[in-house]
Structure 1
Amino acid sequence: MIKPEIVPKRKLPRYGFHFYNERLNGRMAMIGFIALILTEFFLKHGLLLW
């Protein structure tokens, strides 16, 4: 089999399931979850009230 001399570089898409999008979504979810827990704690409402 003959290998090509020039290998084209693939550009990563700016939409869909992309590594950067997944990382950003995970970080935003963590920030939102911590904000929810702190809000419930300081307002004394929600699941943390016992």
Structure 2
Amino acid sequence: MENQETKFGFTQFAETWNGRLAMLGFVIGLATELITGSGILSQIGLM
């Protein structure tokens, strides 16, 4: 029980994973736009 560091809230662990998932989402969004030829807003019917 030496390592009782929390994994919730604004911790280095949480912010690292938040950044990684944000980068992954951005790349997936760009790839989807390249494959379909339309932007995300037009894909969900807002434009």
Fold-level similarity (TM above 0.5): yes
Are the aligned partners of 2:7 and 2:13 in contact in 1 as well (CA < 8 Å)?
no
TM-score of the superposed pair, with normalisation by structure 1: 0.65
Q: CA RMSD in A?
A: 2.0
Find 1:43's aligned residue among 5, 11, 36.
36
Larger-Rg structure: 1
1:13 to partner: Cα distance: 1.6
Higher helix share: 2
- Seq. identity, %: 33
Aligned residues: 39
- Give ranges in structure 2 of 5+ residues lacking alignment: 41-47
- Give ranges in structure 1 of 5+ residues lacking alignment: 1-8
Match of 1:5 in 2: none
TM-score of the superposed pair, with normalisation by structure 2: 0.69
